[in-house]
Structure 1
């Protein structure tokens, strides 16, 4: 043995000891790195107001991060189930969206991203969330798990809502200014045409074509003025009121009374079906609901008026039905206006869509109604043909209507 060398056993023990030290150092470094990464992950979640979850489709186990508890407003010590996130915490009207996400991921095995509304558990307020779901596949391409990132997007939705209102108000102000500048020229045109018509009436020999042309000029000027006023009503939004009970029976009756003259002229009957035991419905959006009801009722009346297949023996009618539906109300407005073609279902809610020949029609009624239902009421507006020879517009409004507060 060379001087200075350690005995073989001592050398081996020293080497093992050093290896153990290196192992511990690496282990500590790894734990430290994991702690650091976890802290960074938690900070990222806090900044984005998002949470992560994983569902093992084989073991049927569900794991969530702390961010999910925050997004859904759950106590940190509460046990969570996959079914709760699919159904119990989601606004009932949006459960079909969540179910569709699950089905699309399972069938297409691709990432799916979608927006839907949840009921935050700590304060029972509705919040908008965006969820991106990713499938995890095994070597054979079978789904063994799904993982997702769910983010609260309510603030973003509020900003979109504010932007939409600003744009509508800007258009309203522009139309208001335009109407002001056009008012005097239109009055002059109408007055001149009326004077010419009166002067011509006093003559012994009358030119019928000239009188008809003058009448058309007056009518066109009036129509143009009325159209500008209609656009102003649509685009200028009034501020909402404080939360109060909405009386469906009274409000619907008022809408029909406002249109009683035209309905009697067209021999259109109406029926209001509101159960006496209907649960109270409180909302700060009374004006929006009134406006939606008015637009949809006008749409039903005009559908009956333009129906070329009206049968004299059959009663033309409009049925307004309200019922409790999950957390809110379902309102159905049915008419006998002839229904709608399959190809039009995708276009009726687009702005400026209209099948009506009336010059005063703006083609914005259904578009505005859908926008107000979605943004103000957090509800949905759907359209379908019915079995009484027309269409049924169905509105779903959740009881909790405080997205914009």
Structure 2
């Protein structure tokens, strides 16, 4: 029953004894007794009298923010975002764009473990106050078993257990796009919407789905592989090994390929003035150039955006969502990516569908995955949304 009360505080926020009685179906003396135990354990705090228009004002109770902490790690292609939140979703510490190169090699995994341990060592809280670690990776993740099938699948033991043995704290894995979707849903741009598609516009093209207020995983946790819809008859081999995926013409990888082709043809861009070799140019370089009004970068993003919009139009026709959130690195270009996507959606989706769909840019930005990872760990430890 204590766990149910903690879960209610985590999901709904501060509340009163009468409200807890209604939820738990327990008497007021029993609820008061359980609250006293939780307060003595440092998990719950008495926040004093609530505002009232009349009558006796009841006390309000809620989670003590410092009673537990969670670490979220969002692993990108060329960097890591890592942060710490408390029990009330407050970000205590965050490091964005920590240098790191994601490779499917044992050395890359070991470097990830070292970064996590260094972050923990630099915290001012006791290690036993950290209740769990959430790690986001792209590709196929079975969140229930802790296996990653796209990266670091070197041993029979689940990746979550391998990392857990190195850091000494319970570890949970999830797909990066789903964690970002949950971050926005729980603490970002979402208001009252319950049916949401989060499109992760990065080197690849991912998606997280919220259906009826619940994060959707599919049978084995592999849902949302938006980028691998067979969309084009182009004979281009995708990173997944198949041909013609949407990702081959509508992703960061596609933008880099198109950029190199344009530069080889003699096009000019601010990107080349950074002194990088053509093979060292990143998607972030394209985004920075576009935000500095570079014509070539803007044209590339518009082309990518139109292709993405065709794919989103198909999703709208299938799911009829209330809200589509655009996140990931390309979302940092704001209208440069949003306008061609919305234009294509208007052109290719059914008007009755797209008229009911709102588009928003990610509010949490680069922090979406970290916040989502922390909150997913918190929910799993409290057995919420199970």
User: Computing the radius of gyration over CA atoms, which structure comes out larger, 1 or 2?
Assistant: 1
**TM-score, length of structure 1 as denominator length:** 0.25
Structure with the larger RCO, 1 or 2 (CA within 8 Å, 6+ apart):
2
Normalising to structure 2: TM-score of the pair? 0.26
